[in-house]
Copies of this chain bind each other. A is one copy, B any other.
């Protein structure tokens, strides 16, 4: 407990909750790191695909990047509308649930959950890659570095929202500034110095065999480039976390995020193309650009370190979003109720821990490799984009309202664009891992429905109606199992006598001499409570007691049996190993008998 307090801080009162709301400046830092950090890998993913068709094909990176920029524009406008319509937050799940029905909503929820987990894994893996580009000797420790980073972010998040906001704002803005400097300086350089660096004909790290530049290849590069727009939906899920007026503040933050993302992404793509930079296994594109622009000096290291921190912090947006989504699902009965409960620092501790666990698992399974994780990443995000945009289209068609045609058009274009992107990603990346997402989404949907149907069954079973009052116990038999006479037993007998009823002590006859001795002592200390000696041919104390109770239960169906257990509680936990675990086993066995009530009378040892 002390360790927990030290790690996560003191509990916060509910009344303080309003103060935990975020200003736009801090919200931009928390919610945008996921989105903006994709600048670090999106261009690289595009180039990695195009270069398969030779260095000439690399020129296609510019039109592909422009297409993705268009996607950013469409998404920011359509999500702005969602933010105003759903100020309670919830994103794709909420939108789909109120407009499309349960199944699409659960599909969106499943896809979102998976993409939160992948976000953490991808961002941390890419962040570690930024670090190892600068310090190549760390390359072999990338998995361990990733795990440490995830653990660190988990801890910070368990400390609570606002603190993590302040904690993250400075490095996020610093990283945006440094990346802006890189893109700015690089663009200026490219305007004045118009040298066209000749591309190497067969760059290192690529096999001699080249693919033909087909439309399919270009679409594949577009599909992986779509990883740039992941994280656009994070703000719409977290509108409630903003200060009043929530929607307006969230929408403004959304626009700023898109502008930053768009300019950085286009800048990196342009610079890479202009300078003829190609992807390498050991060094990221951004690292190569920074080296080229600033030389391997302090500015270069500032770019790498801040990119790394930005990426690691990007994982943080998932730690804000995932537990929030889980709690919304839990409130609707699709996730365990525990997920809906605030931890004592006003955050959803259970969700944070689960997310951290699965992200670590993914990082280990994919050996900390960003490229291997990308196919899992984009597909989940785009499925949820498409579902939420489609939901908005249905909503406008149903509700109409002011300017509905204009709004319908915006979301319609959004639905169409993201739908096409989803189909492209699914077809070009299916075998590379997108199938895993479809499989997991199906499993999650089954799980959600299974959980809800359990809760429904429970509600029906425990629900009250005027004529459902359960029968009251007519008779109470009190049973005290003993194995000898001592202060603990005397205390249990005294307690039983103070509460009244038919009391019987039970002694299992394992050893004739001990039984005889106990009977003599009982005559003195038993206060007239009858002692029943049970035979035990098999020396099973538990079995004999259970048989007796079962017999009494069947003899009189109106009778309730209260088992009073005299329990000796050692002063120190490890002393438990020196005491028979019989009480525990009896408790376990009795828990499953109807009309049997278990009462523990503890006797505390002082040493």
Binding site for B on A (CB under 8 A): 11-15, 336-338, 341-342, 344, 451, 454-455, 457-458, 461-464, 468-470, 472-473, 476, 485-488, 490-491, 494-495, 497-501, 521, 525, 537-540, 560, 562, 568-570, 575, 577-581, 591-594, 596-607
Contacts and interface: CB of A to CB of B under 8 A. Distances in A.
B606 A602 contact: no
Given A469-B490, A494-B472, A498-B560, A344 B540 contact: yes
Contacts of A454: 575, 578
Nearest to A594: B604
A429 B494 CA distance: 61
B596 A602 contact: yes
8 contacts: A337-B580, A341-B539, A344-B539, A458-B605, A470-B491, A499-B562, A597-B600, A598-B599
Contacts of A597: 495, 599-602
A538 B486 contact: no
Contact of A342 (B455, B500, B539, B560): B539
B602 A594 contact: yes
A565 to B, nearest CB: 10
A459 to B, nearest CB: 8
A490 B485 CA distance: 36
B500 A487 contact: no
A568 B462 contact: yes
Contact of A537 (B14, B499, B592): B14
Nearest to A560: B495
B537 A15 contact: yes
Contacts of A592: 569, 602, 604
- How many copies the complex holds: the figure is 2
A462 B486 contact: yes
Contacts of A598: 599-600, 602
Given A486-B464, A537-B13, A569-B592, A470 B451 contact: no
Contacts of A473: 494-495, 498
A581 B457 contact: no
Given A14-B539, A592-B569, A462 B476 contact: no
Contacts of A336: 577-579
Given A341-B580, A562-B599, A591-B602, 14 more contacts: A14-B537, A336-B577, A337-B578, A337-B580, A338-B581, A457-B607, A458-B605, A461-B607, A462-B603, A472-B494, A498-B560, A499-B562, A592-B604, A598-B599
Contact of A13 (B472, B538, B604): B538
B498 A472 contact: yes
Q: Which A-B residue pairs are the 6 nearest by beta carbons? A: A462-B486, A599-B599, A598-B600, A472-B494, A11-B538, A462-B487
A580 B600 CA distance: 21
A359 to B, nearest CB: 20
Contacts of A337: 578-580
A597 B562 CA distance: 13
Contact of A463 (B344, B486, B606): B486
Contacts of A500: 499-500
Contact of A578 (B451, B469, B487, B539): B451
Contact of A464 (B11, B14, B487): B487
Nearest to A487: B462
Nearest to A491: B470
B11 A540 contact: yes
Nearest to A595: B602
Nearest to A521: B464
Nearest to A453: B607
B490 A578 contact: no
A463 B525 CA distance: 12
A485 B498 CA distance: 29
Contacts of A501: 499
A476 B494 CA distance: 12
Contacts of A604: 592, 594
A550 to B, nearest CB: 15
A240 B592 CA distance: 41
A581 B476 CA distance: 29
A457 B495 contact: no
A470 B490 contact: yes
A274 to B, nearest CB: 55
Contacts of A579: 336-337
A99 to B, nearest CB: 27
Contacts of A570: 458
B458 A568 contact: yes
Nearest to A13: B537
Contact of A605 (B461, B521, B560, B591): B461
A13 to B, nearest CB: 5
A597 B478 CA distance: 15
A578 B455 contact: yes
Nearest to A15: B537
Contacts of A607: 457, 461
Contacts of A463: 486-487
A580 B338 contact: yes
A487 B600 CA distance: 23
B499 A499 contact: yes
A158 to B, nearest CB: 15
Nearest to A511: B14
Contacts of A469: 490
Given A454-B578, A476-B498, A499-B500, A461 B606 contact: yes
Given A476-B499, A591-B600, A597-B495, A464 B525 contact: yes
A556 to B, nearest CB: 14
